[in-house]
A = this chain, B = another copy of it.
Amino acid sequence: MSQSITIKDIAQLLGLSKSTVSRALKDHPDISPETKRAVKEIAERLHYKPNHVAISLRHRKSRMIGLLVPNISYFFFPSVIEGIEEIVHQHGYQLMILQSNESYDREVNGIDTMLANNVEGILASVSRRTEDFSHFKNVIDRDIPIVFFDRVPEEIKADMVLVDDIRGTYDGVKHLLETGRKRIAICIGHPNLLISKNRLKGYKMALHEAGMEIKDEYIISGQSIDEVESATHQLLNQDTPPDGIFAISDLTMTGIMKSIYTNRLRIPEDIAVIGFCEEPFSTMYNPPLSAIQPMGFEIGKIATEVLFNRIQAEHSFMVTPEIHNITSRMVIRGST
């Protein structure tokens, strides 16, 4: 009972050849109805399950999509993955998830194992430490469709799906201005990432448009909750502390809120808070936060749809890559 049963077993039991069994199982017209019935019945009875590995080897196709993410912990990416899974399963594919953990080596490694496992397409969000993108060029050279999302490389020609970073930040900061805030700070992430640059750009645009000065001491950053928390602590304890703050991500938001709590500031009386923040986190705080929803679920869905379009298209490399900007939604709650 320990070995799984194969086409050969069925063939021997019925005195047929492997080929006949194989064809019978997939309703090939060359096979007589009686043979088909017999084969299918015994296959059913023995719980025959085709071996994906063998099929993958023969067809050079695996019905698997590779997903490369920096991490799946806590924020944002879980939502993206939910969106991805929905589409992937609609197509009868499986998802192979690899985490880079923000390590360049593991990212390269992950791409390698995906290729070695014959994935038919790749969804990727790059590590913040990645500055050499040749492993991705490799994928493209091998004609394997790849779609980047959220954290995208600037210099690669491929499909991209991302939130409208500039617009989202611009809207958020503008909303702070409209509610009367005069000293608005921002906390950004790793400067390597395009999203950091773009979100900072949106911040500056909004301030500039309002004729306000951009002060360097109101621009802080951090890679972890703790780093953000202490950076925020410094920010809040300077001579002219900000009266509004924009958080670039769920992670930075957490650090900021912790610092505000320990500084016993009242929200929104003392300081207003808004930023990119995914459900359900924005409503875990007290008061619930006004937020720009990055809509990870939609990003995942759209990126996967784009990917399947490429997979199904012939000569996908001929089609020019597209950039999809997802417009994020701003929800106003008690923090502004």
Complex formed: what's the CA distance from A49 to B95 in Å? Answer: 22
Cα distance, A50 to B96, chains bound together (Å) = 19
Chain A facing B: main interface SS: mixed
Which chain B residue lies CB-closest to A56?
B53
Among B53, B95, B281, which residue has its beta carbon within 8 angstroms of that of A118? Answer: B53
What is A's interface to B at a CB cutoff of 8 Å? Answer: 1-4, 49-54, 56-57, 62, 71-74, 78-79, 81-82, 85, 89, 94-99, 101, 106, 112-113, 115-118, 141-143, 225, 254, 257-258, 261, 280-281, 283-288
User: Considering the chains assembled together, what is the distance between the CA atoms of A87 and B244 in angstroms?
Assistant: 43
A85 x B57 contact (CB < 8 A): no
**A50 / chain B contacts, CB cutoff of 8 Å:** 116
Between A and B, 7 residue pairs with Cβ closer than 8 Å are: A4-B142, A51-B116, A53-B62, A53-B117, A71-B82, A78-B78, A284-B285
| Contact in complex: B117, A52 (CB < 8 Å) | yes
Q: Which B residues lie within 8 Å of A285 (CB)?
A: 284-286
Contacting pair A141 B54 (CB below 8 A): no
Q: Are A94's CB and B85's CB within 8 A?
A: no
Q: How far is the CB of A46 from chain B (nearest CB, A)?
A: 13
- What is the CA–CA distance of A85 and B103 in the complex, to the nearest angstrom? 14
The residues of B that contact A51 with a CB separation of less than 8 Å are: 57, 116, 118
A49 contacts B2, C-beta separation under 8 Å: no
Picked from B56, B98, B284, the residue with its CB within 8 Å of the CB of A281 is B284
